[in-house]
Amino acid sequence: MRKYLLKRVFYMILTLFLVASITFFLMKLMPGTPYSNQEKMTPQQIQIMNEQYGLNKPIWMQYLIYLGGMLHGDLGTSFQFSNQPVSYLISSRIGPSAQLGAQAMVFGLFFGIIVGSIAAINRNTWIDTTSTVLSIIGKSVPNFVLAVLLQYYIALKLGWFPIADWGSFSYTVLPTIALGVGPLAETARFIRTGMVDVMNSDYIELAKAKGLSRYGVVYHHALRNSLIPLVTLIGPYTVALMTGSLVIENIFSIPGIGEQFVKSILTNDYPTIMGVTMLFSAGLVVVILLTDIIYGIIDPRIRLSGNGD
Amino acid sequence: MAERILDVKNLKINFHTYAGDVKAIRDVSFHLNKGETLAIVGESGSGKSVTTKSLMGLLANNAEVIGGSIMYHDEDILKKSEKQMQNIRGKEIAMIFQDPMTSLDPTMKIGQQIAEPLMKHKKVEKKKAWAQALDILKLVGISNAEERIKDYPHQFSGGQRQRIVIAIALVCYPEILIADEPTTALDVTIQAQILQLMKELQAKIETSIIFITHDLGVVAGMADRVAVMYAGQIVEYGTVDEIFYNPQHPYTWGLLNSMPTLTSTKLEAIPGTPPDLLDPPKGDPFAARNPYAMKIDVEQQPPFFKVSETHYAATWLLHPDAPKVTPPEEIVRRHQLFAKMTHQSV
């Protein structure tokens, strides 16, 4: 197991290195400069600024300098956000984004599994049909549309939760729902399909023949086996929640990373673009590793040799 | 007379399908004596499995019992609620399934799978249930049971898995064990081991077995009595010797004739296919495939004719007015053997 983990960590670092390299050069290909009113600046001013930020050096050298800095944990200084170090920018804003993402994930998976299971157990009844229709709607409606609807009806008309901004838990409820409904719908459809298959299998018949109750059969035997295909979705979900939160954070004016990321791209704020991209990539490769480990926990058949009990 | 623990009377089961009602079980009656093994033999689709599922109360959603009764300890199983059935299943009537490769939960340790019925029915706490699971695991012949109890199904071979399935079925010491083709999915040497194991355990646990199979070879070594099913009906039943050596129904003749013997050079098949149970024939369902069929076979269903106290067959050939027919050579040989056997025992 340790050998396997070491190997995986090596590949993760390799992946991150490739992401950093590709992003760096692609970013340099973007039109424009980091200066917002370049036409008013004299060539000397530009020269001075370029020297100060190291932008006068050849691109390959800038690249090596950046990589060198990154190895020491130095992600550079933002051009736009009051010259703050990127690492500080990220660490001060990661909290709300991470909290929102995690909440949306838990909300989506939890209710998705419940809705999907209920639909599967009551297959081909009105419950199943209703859940399918709702899932399709949940999957089809873009989360920013849902966000605005929630703001208008739940926050403005009913006044149950704040419309926007960031503060106590109640501020997180609407953005969590807006962000989590997509994953919820997809989870529900996945679990439903998986469980219908599982419920027709021989071991469910055997579980019934043991005299277990309907609940016992579903909870102890069907659920875990239907969860296996769902694990595959966790990776894509993470990406969806990361990118989805870009828009949602804007709508609910949440001081998260997404908002900053969009601004940094629009203003060619190279260090911030790199920093946030690397953060997202690192998050993703870690999630992929976790997914593989979760697979092994849920399904003993794919557990790695040496990782027995 | 032996104590009857199960008495099935005039059972009729239909399956609702888009094409219409399939009459899967058409007036089936049989009984099970305490401690014996009853084999139900028949080809695919003859209704063997449906019959046993009805005993467990595990019929598919589109199945409907339209008549009859299943008396178990003077109570009709068919009248019991799902809740009451849950208390019978696994505890008093347990079942072994056909395919051990798919009948164990792949994500649960086998110890837990064996302990589950105990925890459910005997309200045993987990630790004690696992201890009992270990005992039964040893009993079914899993070596190194202390360690293997924590393994998952994929870590066992097919034969071992069927032993585990048997352990699950027997862990509550059920009164009736239904074995639905328990050896069909196994290769021949493992088959013999599993059958031997079932016999040993039957003696130890004193359970009665209903053994479903299409393999007459297996029946000969296992059963005390045999019921032959065809097209949703029982056509002949009797003790294992009576069915094997004094068969009376042409379908039983056909089955035995299609079994390889030491002297047979060529296997005889029964021509044709079973009737469509969406619209069963009016007369004897076997008439169309029966070389000995008479006019009455097409018009009227034969009743059971008594051959001996324990042996009955539903064929018009046993009617006093029926012409004498000569069965296939192999059957004549068996009849002669039977005559010798009874002569000796008398």
B205 vs chain A: nearest CA distance in angstroms?
Answer: 18
Find out whether A251 and A142 touch, Cβ atoms under 8 Å.
no
Cβ contact, residue pair B108, A221, below 8 Å: yes
Tokens 């130095």 belong to: A74
Helix (H) or strand (E) holding B334: helix B329-345
**Per-residue pLDDT tens digits for A182-235:** 889 999 999 999 999 999 899 999 999 999 998 899 999 998 899 888 887 887
Q: What is the pLDDT of residue A304?
A: 56
- Percent pLDDT > 70 in chain A is 95
* Burial class of residue A72 (count of CB atoms within 10 Å of its CB; 0-12, 13-18, 19+): exposed
**Per-residue pLDDT tens digits for B305-322:** 999 999 999 999 998 888
SS3 B285: coil
A224 is a domain residue = yes
**Per-residue pLDDT tens digits for A164-175:** 778 788 788 888
Q: What is the pLDDT of residue B9?
A: 93
Measured between alpha carbons, how far is residue B266 from residues A220, B257, B259 in Å? 51, 10, 10
Nearest to A212 among B56, B99, B120 (CB): B120
Q: What is the pLDDT of residue A144?
A: 86
The two three-digit tokens of residue B307, written as one number:
């051959």
Q: Is the pLDDT of residue B128 over 90?
A: yes
Q: What is the pLDDT of residue A307?
A: 44
Helix (H) or strand (E) holding B177: strand B176-180
Chain A window 285-304: which residues touch B at a Cβ cutoff of 8 Å?
Answer: 298-301
Q: Judge whether B126 is closer than 8 Å to chain A, CB to CB.
A: no
Q: For residue B224, give the nearest of B31, B39, B7 by alpha carbon.
A: B39
**Per-residue pLDDT tens digits for B69-112:** 999 988 999 999 999 999 999 999 999 988 888 999 999 999 99
A203 is a domain residue = yes
Q: Which residues 6+ apart lie within 8 Å of B151 measured at CB?
A: B109, B110
A155 vs chain B: nearest CA distance in angstroms?
Answer: 44
Cβ neighbours of A213 in B, within 8 Å: 86
- Percent pLDDT > 90 in chain A is 21
Q: Is the pLDDT of residue B192 over 50?
A: yes
Q: What is the pLDDT of residue A92?
A: 83
What is the chain B residue with the closest CA to A202?
Answer: B103
Tokens 């401690």 belong to: B35
Q: Is the pLDDT of residue A69 over 60?
A: yes
Cβ contact, residue pair B105, A221, below 8 Å: yes
Tell me the Ramachandran region of residue B298: left when phi exceeds 0, alpha when psi lies from -120 to 50, beta otherwise.
Answer: alpha
Q: Which residues 6+ apart lie within 8 Å of B167 measured at CB?
A: B114, B133, B136, B137, B139, B140, B142
**ipTM score of complex:** 0.86
Cβ contact, residue pair B86, A213, below 8 Å: yes
Number of structural domains in chain A: 1
Q: What is the pLDDT of residue B15?
A: 93
Find out whether B22 and B277 touch, Cβ atoms under 8 Å.
yes
A302 is a domain residue = no
Cβ neighbours of A220 in B, within 8 Å: 108, 116
* Burial class of residue A141 (count of CB atoms within 10 Å of its CB; 0-12, 13-18, 19+): middle
Here the CATH number for the domain that contains residue A198 is 1.10.3720.10
B151 vs chain A: nearest CA distance in angstroms?
Answer: 9
* Residue A38 confidence class, pLDDT cut points 50, 70, 90: confident
Q: Is the pLDDT of residue B133 over 90?
A: yes
- What φ, ψ does residue A9 adopt, rounded to 5°? -65, -40
pTM confidence score:
0.81
Chain A window 228-257: which residues touch B at a Cβ cutoff of 8 Å?
Answer: 228
B50 vs chain A: nearest CA distance in angstroms?
Answer: 14
**Per-residue pLDDT tens digits for A71-127:** 887 888 887 767 788 888 888 888 888 888 888 889 999 999 999 999 998 888 899
* Residue B1 confidence class, pLDDT cut points 50, 70, 90: low
Pick the CATH number of B4-223 from 2.120.10.80, 3.30.70.20, 3.40.50.620, 3.40.50.300: 3.40.50.300
Q: What is the pLDDT of residue A14?
A: 93
Q: Judge whether A201 is closer than 8 Å to chain B, CB to CB.
A: yes
SS3 B76: strand
Q: What is the pLDDT of residue A286?
A: 87
What is the chain B residue with the closest CA to A206?
Answer: B103
Q: Is the pLDDT of residue B342 over 90?
A: no
Q: Is the pLDDT of residue A32 over 90?
A: no
**Per-residue pLDDT tens digits for B137-159:** 998 989 999 999 999 999 999 88
A219 vs chain B: nearest CA distance in angstroms?
Answer: 12
Cβ contact, residue pair A203, B94, below 8 Å: no
Average predicted confidence (pLDDT) for chain B: 89
The two three-digit tokens of residue B121, written as one number:
């029915």
B168 vs B179: CA distance, rounded Å = 12
Tokens 């169309």 belong to: B288
A96 is a domain residue = yes
A76 vs B77: CA distance, rounded Å = 77
A304 is a domain residue = no
Mutate to test the interface with B, among A125, A195, A197, A206 (most CBs of B within 10 A): A206
Helix (H) or strand (E) holding B333: helix B329-345
* Residue B345 confidence class, pLDDT cut points 50, 70, 90: low
A53 vs B103: CA distance, rounded Å = 67
Q: Is the pLDDT of residue A254 over 70?
A: yes
Mean local confidence (pLDDT), B222-233: 93
Long-range CB pairs of B325-330, under 8 A, 24+ apart, other chains included: B325/B292, B327/B250, B327/B253, B328/B253, B328/B257, B328/B268, B330/B256, B330/B257, B330/B261, B330/B264, B330/B268
Domain residue spans in chain B?
4-223, 250-345
A120 is a domain residue = yes
SS3 B300: coil
Mean local confidence (pLDDT), B26-45: 91
Q: What is the pLDDT of residue A309?
A: 39
A239 is a domain residue = yes
Q: Is the pLDDT of residue A267 over 90?
A: no
* Residue A243 confidence class, pLDDT cut points 50, 70, 90: low
A259 is a domain residue = yes
Q: Is the pLDDT of residue A259 over 80?
A: no
Q: What is the pLDDT of residue B344?
A: 65
A111 vs A183: CA distance, rounded Å = 10
